[in-house]
């Protein structure tokens, strides 16, 4: 285990200031860990050492010159490979974009780097974020650092694994139906999906534009808050970004004495919720109560409708968003004898099976006639779900749920698309409503020995509540923050 | 095929227009900050947004929204406060995202109208309504909506004949134009003749130019029209099957294309055939329309609200801030010109239809009376415009100063020079920017209006021709012309005919 | 609602995704399975409920000023295309053999 790989953002900042280590040493150390581990994990699709060392040297120069440091100065960061970073490949783990080199940079990436972050590289994911296991990547799977026979979750599996394995201090992922929180749960990482609009989506390859949101993976809640401070804020390039200027670290030490925290009893009776996850959930609730929170039962009566609404809205938006991949300006191109043939061949070769399914589904759902029967009802269901949350949050300051009904599964274990979709049962409704949610690792499963996460959900645009609850509960959690991969591990 | 007027005796044509105008006077595109510039090197005005790069997001141009609201206010539309942008999906390489961002069921501007005044000439095609004293008529054309959208890129087809798409081996795509703000106006099917369609387009163009929202160049494609036309028997209220004429790029083509299409449809229907719903292309050279595409089923564009664009909820304040920018529109200006300058309707309309011309006129006509204003109007409408057209320029680009034109008008109005001489002075004015008064003096053009001198000449002539005076007084009043001619001869052609005529008559009447 | 292979073929054509006969059969089965799971959405009582298209709270009228920003250098704009000519993106014949529009 490398001496730097467990450091948090605050320790890095203080260590750099004190001259205990340099940013270059941190970068070198991070790439050492990647060299040792990533051949097994395969979290990264591309490494950017030149960029990283240049950024590290800039941080060291700033320290030497006594200049102020950004809040993420010297912090090794990895970015999901659906985030454009000028001069790097942005593949979305798809053959479609295998050779695409970004000519521009996503706002969230630019902000993280402007804050002094050191870019290690781009991480693996489900193709175009379509999946919950990172198995649909064209470039091969990412393995869960806790058990290399198991998936890291998805779609941001590479970003989760990079942090879980100690390769990166922070990473950014994107979450359309659980793609940050569920891999966070599977890999034992703090994984935050902020409220829709808190982080700019500009430059992040879109899946479901009304559902997508960028957020951080970290090894502790404070690091996630630092990351959110760096990447959030109104972006003139994203119409849906929110004008909110908040210090998300401000209330982390405030405790939760007197806070009202909601639980949803009906959601704890679902088929597929394993007993160890349910048990860990109940223990966490007891701890929250022990910390002085008032536990209040709330109802989300339309939560069951969220999955079908999601699998209508997501594919519709995805179909439209992915229409641009036509081989003309960028992307995989076949040699068709005419344009139509080239369109069909390029897209047939460039997209994997899951992408094709979702595109096809979306194209059907938006057809006239079908649209009124599925798309419009799905948007009405969104209204109901949003109202459910609004009503629940009149009574409570946060709601806790399991993040995933089970711990990480083995490769190939869940192959039927409809079953795979169920692994997002606890996360999806939050995307539909646009609220924020965070996975906090709370236990290792008593049966599986694998990380189990608690999901903390906040009122829309009150993500500081989530972080505050997480920071309090975190003090009572005692599980390793870096997967025990190098100690002989499980595989 | 029968002639149009003959066809229209038996058939009523039902015509609707879709008019696209690029907002060329804005600095930047609809959803990104790339500049709008016609004729730039290919793909130099592009960015992630207008190239449809993965991850790019649109942000609407406020000035474009203001422009469409302005257009709506100028065409008597209701401004719809709650609207959204939609995505309209279709795969075509000039559309970078393979969907066009446009508006859904509700556009920014809904339910407007324009009143058309057809002159006697334009009225001839309309057989079913009474004409006014001047042979013209007015008619109100409903406007369904004006919506905001983005233009596509430009394609060049290579390897085929004349850059046509069929037979081309490959095509080139330039996205400079992609994302240019476009407003699409859709009329109700209220137009009944090709002349009305032409008049509507001309009027709309005048309005857009007055608003300053587009250069409305039909040649460069910044103003283009699609026309829908169907026929029904006179007296019937059912709509026939329509055909669509695409991308018409001049007023003449709009008129002639529709006229041809009406005659073609009548021929098909009269021979017992049926009209197919299809898109047709007007070929001005061959003077015919040809089929571009047969529409068997309605296109399914998979439209849905664009999640990337926040909805609009325009405030009264926003709309009022636009309303105060509304300039005087051509109709109002025409009425004012009639009122303030005493101009006839035709002259007032001609001047008011063009912002530059109207401004020039008003500058020239300030502090003048109606007679001089009328002369100024004549000069502008007949002479200066003809010259500007011939030389493909505009009045403001010429050397003519409004004050100089006013001087010329005055010289004409008070008969200092003849209208024939006026043409010579105007030519010098256009060519060299001379001062008309000095020019007339230095070229000895001044007509003699010295009544004393004329009276003396007339007195001498009467003394020398007593027989003719006798004859005149005996009833041969035609002899007045003899005396006038003699006076004019003695004045070397520089006499003022009106003054001479008056004096001759007075003296002869004795 | 059940899709036939013909329906799926039509959707694929619209979505510009070439499918082999075998893929077509698999896709038809997969899509029908998924559509079956979506059935609840067609069965909710939603009378009088307004749709929410944008989960953005009270945000509206988001616009930018009409000010020119940076455009790409042309080489950058074209850099991801395999086939360019005369400063443009080059594509094969639109109406070539078997082409249709």
The residue from A22, A155, A156, A448 that is catalytic is A155
Same domain, B459 and B432: no
pLDDT at C97: 47
Same domain, B275 and B423: no
B223: in domain: yes
B318: in domain: no
With cut-offs at 50, 70 and 90, classify the pLDDT of residue B503.
confident
Distance CA A398, CA A467 (A): 10
Q: Is the pLDDT of residue B297 over 80?
A: no
Query: B467 φ, ψ to 5°?
Result: -60, -40
Query: Does B300 contact C at CB distance below 8 Å?
Result: yes
B314: in domain: no
Query: Does A238 contact B at CB distance below 8 Å?
Result: yes
Averaged over B432-452, what is the pLDDT?
80
Same domain, B99 and B136: yes
Best C17, C71, C92 member to test B by mutation, with max B CBs in 10 Å, is: C71
Same domain, B296 and B363: no
Contact: B43, C64; criterion CB under 8 Å: no
Closest-CA residue of A relative to C100 is: A340
**pLDDT of C48-78, one tens digit each?**
999 999 999 999 999 999 999 999 999 999 9
* Lowest-pLDDT range of A187-196, B12-21, B378-387, B481-490: B481-490
Give the angle subtended at the CA of A486 by the CAs of A482 and A490, to the nearest 5°: 90
Q: Which residues of C touch A379 (CB under 8 A)?
A: 51-53
Closest-CA residue of B relative to C56 is: B310
Write the residue in A347, A361, A379 that is nearest to C51 by C-beta: A379
Tens place of pLDDT per residue across chain A (491 aa): 457 888 999 999 999 999 999 999 999 999 999 999 999 999 999 999 999 999 999 999 999 999 999 999 999 999 999 999 999 999 999 999 999 999 999 999 999 999 999 999 999 999 999 999 999 999 999 999 999 999 999 999 999 999 999 999 999 999 999 999 999 999 999 999 999 999 999 999 999 999 999 999 999 999 999 999 999 999 999 999 999 889 999 999 999 999 999 999 999 998 889 999 999 999 999 999 999 999 999 999 998 899 999 999 999 999 999 999 999 999 999 988 899 999 999 999 999 999 999 999 999 999 999 999 999 999 999 999 999 999 999 999 999 999 999 999 999 888 776 666 677 889 999 999 999 999 999 999 999 999 999 999 999 999 999 999 999 999 999 999 999 986 544 44
Token duo for residue C66: 């009409």
Averaged over B283-310, what is the pLDDT?
87
Domains along chain A with CATH numbers:
9-263+400-487 (3.90.1300.10), 305-380 (no CATH)
pLDDT at A487: 55
B320: in domain: no
Contact: A239, B91; criterion CB under 8 Å: no
Same domain, B305 and B341: no
Closest-CA residue of A relative to B52 is: A324
pLDDT at C96: 58
- Total domains in chain B come to 3
Contact: C93, B168; criterion CB under 8 Å: yes
**pLDDT of B28-87, one tens digit each?**
999 999 999 989 999 999 999 999 999 999 999 999 999 999 999 999 999 999 999 999
Same domain, B246 and B346: no
The nearest CA of chain A is from the CA of B77 a distance in Å of 27
Cis amide prior to B500 (ω within 30 degrees): no
- Of B179, B188, B249, the residue nearest B23 (C-alpha): B179
Last residue of a domain, one of B383, B408, B442: B442
Write the residue in A82, A239, A323 that is nearest to B308 by C-beta: A239
Distance CA C92, CA C89 (A): 10
The residue from A22, A80, A156, A232 that is catalytic is A80
The dihedral sign for the CA sequence B263, B269, B270, B272: positive
Answer whether A427's CB lies under 8 Å from A453's CB: no
For residue B148, what are the β-bridge partners? B183
Same domain, B183 and B251: yes
Cβ-count burial of A45 within 10 angstroms (0-12 exposed, 13-18 middle, 19+ buried)? Answer: buried
Query: Does A330 contact B at CB distance below 8 Å?
Result: yes
Question: What subunits touch chain A, counting only 3 or more CB pairs under 8 A?
Answer: B, C
3-state SS class at A287: helix
Contact: C11, A307; criterion CB under 8 Å: no
B325: in domain: no
Token duo for residue A75: 């912090």
The nearest CA of chain C is from the CA of B97 a distance in Å of 13
Contact: B96, A210; criterion CB under 8 Å: no
Same domain, B298 and B419: no
**Long-range contacts formed by C33-37: CB under 8 A, 24+ apart:** C33/A416, C33/A417, C33/A418, C34/A311, C34/A357, C34/A361, C34/A417, C34/A418, C35/A361, C35/A364, C35/C1, C35/C2, C35/C3, C36/A418, C37/A307, C37/A308, C37/A311, C37/A418, C37/A421
Same domain, B304 and B347: no
- Of A465, A447, A341, A451, the residue nearest A400 (C-alpha): A465
Q: Is the pLDDT of residue B484 over 80?
A: yes
The nearest CA of chain B is from the CA of C15 a distance in Å of 9
Q: Is the pLDDT of residue B448 over 90?
A: no
With cut-offs at 50, 70 and 90, classify the pLDDT of residue B114.
very high
pLDDT at B162: 60
Known catalytic membership, residue A232: no
Domains along chain C with CATH numbers:
1-45 (1.10.20.60)
Write the residue in B45, B63, B92 that is nearest to C71 by C-beta: B45
Query: B343 φ, ψ to 5°?
Result: -80, 150
Averaged over B234-243, what is the pLDDT?
93
Question: What subunits touch chain B, counting only 3 or more CB pairs under 8 A?
Answer: A, C
Same domain, B455 and B430: no
**ipTM entry:** 0.96
Q: Which segments of A268-416 does DSSP mark as H helices, in order?
A: 275-290, 305-321, 339-350, 353-365, 370, 376-395
Distance CA B433, CA B429 (A): 4
Same domain, B401 and B502: no
Q: Is the pLDDT of residue B385 over 90?
A: no
DSSP-derived secondary structure for B52-118: T-TT-----BHHHHHHHHHHHHHTTPEEPSEE-EEEEE---TTSTTSEEEEE-SS-SEEEEEEEEEE
Token duo for residue B212: 């300053």
Distance CA A281, CA B242 (A): 66
Distance CA B118, CA B123 (A): 6
Closest-CA residue of B relative to A363 is: B302
CATH of the domain at B471: 1.10.10.410
Query: Does A345 contact B at CB distance below 8 Å?
Result: no
Contact: B91, A204; criterion CB under 8 Å: no
B190: in domain: yes
Distance CA B300, CA B320 (A): 37
Contact: B43, C77; criterion CB under 8 Å: yes
Domain that holds residue B499: 451-509
Give the angle subtended at the CA of B38 by the CAs of B35 and B40, to the nearest 5°: 75
Query: Parallel, antiparallel, or unpaired for β C84-85 and C88-92?
Result: antiparallel
Query: B241 φ, ψ to 5°?
Result: -75, 135
Q: Which residue has the tokens 């039509």?
A: C10
B15: in domain: yes
- Count of H-run helices and E-run strands, chain A: 16, 11
Known catalytic membership, residue A462: no
Q: Which residue has the tokens 């996360």?
A: A427
Instruction: State the helix-helix crossing angle for A107-114 and A221-231, rounded to 10 degrees.
Output: 110
Q: Is the pLDDT of residue C99 over 50?
A: no
Distance of CA A192 to the CA centre of its chain: 7
Answer whether B141's CB lies under 8 Å from B196's CB: yes
Closest-CA residue of A relative to C73 is: A103
Same domain, B293 and B199: yes
Q: Which residue has the tokens 């899951």?
A: A354
Known catalytic membership, residue A320: no
B303: in domain: yes
């Amino acid at each position: 285990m490398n001496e730097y790989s467990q450091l948090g953002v605050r320790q890095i900042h203080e260590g750099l200031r004190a001259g205990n280590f340099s940013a270059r040493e941190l970068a070198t150390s991070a790439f050492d860990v990647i060299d040792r581990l990533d051949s097994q994990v395969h979290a990264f699709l591309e490494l950017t050492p030149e960029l990283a060392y240049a950024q590290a040297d800039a941080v060291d120069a700033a320290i030497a010159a006594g200049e102020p440091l950004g809040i993420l100065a010297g912090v090794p960061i990895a970015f999901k490979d659906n985030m454009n970073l000028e001069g790097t490949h942005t593949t979305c783990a798809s053959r479609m974009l295998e050779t695409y080199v970004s000519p521009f940079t996503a706002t969230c990436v630019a902000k993280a780097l402007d804050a002094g972050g050191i870019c290690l590289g781009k991480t693996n994911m489900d193709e175009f974020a379509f999946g919950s296991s990172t198995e649909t990547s064209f470039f091969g799977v990412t393995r869960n650092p806790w058990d290399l026979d198991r998936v890291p979750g998805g779609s941001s599996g590479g970003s989760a694994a990079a942090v879980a394995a100690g390769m990166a201090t922070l990473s950014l992922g994107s979450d359309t139906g659980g793609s940050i929180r569920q891999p966070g749960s599977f890999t034992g990482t703090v994984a935050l999906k902020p409220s829709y609009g808190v982080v700019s989506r500009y430059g992040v390859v879109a899946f479901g534009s009304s559902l997508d949101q960028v957020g951080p993976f970290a090894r502790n809640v404070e690091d996630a808050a630092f990351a959110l401070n760096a990447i959030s804020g109104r972006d003139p390039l994203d119409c849906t970004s929110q004008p909110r200027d908040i210090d998300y670290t401000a209330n982390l030490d405030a405790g939760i004495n007197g806070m009202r925290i909601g639980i949803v009893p009906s959601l704890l009776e679902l088929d597929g919720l394993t007993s160890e996850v349910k048990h860990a959930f109940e223990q966490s609730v007891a701890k929250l109560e022990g910390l002085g929170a008032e536990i209040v039962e709330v109802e989300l009566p339309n939560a069951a409708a969220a999955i079908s609404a999601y699998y209508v809205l997501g594919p519709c938006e995805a179909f439209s968003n992915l229409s641009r991949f036509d081989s003309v300006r960028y992307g995989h191109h076949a040699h068709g004898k005419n344009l139509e043939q080239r369109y069909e061949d390029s897209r047939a070769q460039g997209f994997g099976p899951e992408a094709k399914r979702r595109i096809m589904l979306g194209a059907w759902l938006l057809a006239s006639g079908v649209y009124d029967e599925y798309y419009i009802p799905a948007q009405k269901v969104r209204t109901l779900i949003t109202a459910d949350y609004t009503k629940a949050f009149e009574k409570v300051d946060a709601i806790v749920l399991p993040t995933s009904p089970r711990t990480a599964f083995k490769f190939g274990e869940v192959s039927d698309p409809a079953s795979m979709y169920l692994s997002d049962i606890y996360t999806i409704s939050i995307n539909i409503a646009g609220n924020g949610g965070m996975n906090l690792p709370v236990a290792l499963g008593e049966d599986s020995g694998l990380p189990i996460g608690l999901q903390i959900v906040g009122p829309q645009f009150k993500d500081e509540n989530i972080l505050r609850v997480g920071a309090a509960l975190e003090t009572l959690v005692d599980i390793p923050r870096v997967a025990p991969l190098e100690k002989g591990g499980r595989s | 095929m029968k002639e149009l007027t003959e066809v229209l005796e038996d058939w009523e044509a039902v015509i609707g227009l879709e008019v696209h105008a690029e907002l060329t006077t804005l600095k930047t595109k609809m959803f990104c900050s790339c500049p709008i510039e016609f004729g730039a090197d290919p793909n130099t005005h592009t960015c992630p947004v207008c190239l449809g790069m993965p991850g790019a997001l649109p942000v609407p141009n406020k000035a474009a929204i203001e422009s469409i609201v302005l257009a709506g206010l100028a065409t008597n539309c209701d401004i719809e406060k709650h609207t959204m942008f939609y995505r309209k999906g279709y795969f075509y390489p000039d559309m970078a995202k393979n969907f066009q961002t446009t508006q859904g069921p509700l556009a920014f501007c809904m339910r407007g109208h324009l009143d058309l005044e057809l002159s006697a000439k334009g009225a001839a095609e309309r057989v079913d309504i009474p004409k006014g004293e001047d042979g013209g008529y007015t008619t109100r054309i409903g406007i369904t909506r004006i919506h905001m959208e983005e233009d596509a890129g430009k394609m060049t087809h290579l390897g085929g004949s004349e850059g046509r798409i069929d037979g081309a081996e490959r095509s080139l795509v330039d996205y400079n134009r992609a994302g240019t703000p476009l407003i699409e106006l859709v009329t109700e099917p209220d137009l009944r003749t090709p002349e009305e369609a032409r008049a509507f387009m001309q009027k709309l163009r005048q309005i857009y130019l007055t608003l300053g929202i587009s250069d409305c160049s039909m040649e460069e494609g910044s103003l283009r029209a699609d026309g829908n036309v169907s026929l029904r028997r006179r007296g019937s209220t059912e709509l026939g099957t329509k055909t669509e004429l695409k991308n018409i790029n001049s007023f003449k083509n709009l008129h002639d294309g529709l006229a041809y299409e009406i005659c073609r449809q009548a021929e098909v229907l009269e021979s017992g055939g049926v009209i197919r719903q299809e898109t047709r292309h007007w070929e001005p050279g061959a003077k015919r329309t040809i089929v571009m595409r047969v529409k068997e089923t309605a296109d399914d564009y998979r439209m849905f609200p664009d999640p990337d664009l926040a909805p609009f909820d325009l405030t009264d304040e926003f709309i009022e801030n636009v309303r105060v920018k509304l300039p005087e529109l051509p109709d109002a200006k025409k009425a004012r010109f009639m009122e303030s300058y005493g101009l006839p309707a035709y002259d007032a309309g001609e001047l008011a239809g063009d912002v530059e011309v109207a401004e020039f006129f008003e500058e020239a006509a300030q502090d003048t009376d109606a007679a001089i204003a009328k002369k100024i109007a004549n000069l502008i409408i007949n002479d200066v415009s003809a010259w500007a057209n011939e030389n493909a320029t505009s009045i403001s680009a010429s050397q003519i100063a409004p004050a100089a034109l006013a001087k010329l008008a005055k010289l004409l109005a008070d008969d200092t020079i003849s209208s024939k001489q006026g043409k010579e002075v105007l030519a010098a004015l256009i060519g060299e920017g001379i001062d008309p008064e000095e020019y007339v003096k230095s070229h000895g053009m001044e007509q003699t209006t010295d009544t004393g001198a004329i009276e003396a000449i007339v007195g001498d002539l009467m003394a020398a021709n007593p027989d003719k005076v006798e004859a005149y007084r005996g009833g041969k009043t035609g002899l007045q012309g003899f005396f006038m001619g003699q006076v004019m001869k003695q004045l070397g052609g520089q006499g003022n005919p009106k003054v001479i005529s008056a004096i001759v008559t007075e003296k002869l009447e004795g | 609602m059940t899709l036939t292979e013909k329906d799926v073929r039509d959707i694929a054509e619209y979505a510009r995704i070439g499918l082999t006969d075998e893929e077509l059969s698999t896709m038809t089965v997969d899509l029908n399975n998924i559509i079956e799971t979506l059935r609840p959405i067609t069965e909710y009582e939603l009378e009088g409920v307004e749709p929410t298209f944008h989960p953005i709270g009270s945000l509206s009228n988001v616009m930018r000023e009409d000010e020119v920003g940076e455009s790409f250098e042309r080489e950058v704009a074209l850099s991801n295309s395999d086939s360019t000519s005369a400063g443009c993106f080059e594509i094969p014949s639109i109406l070539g053999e078997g082409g249709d529009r």
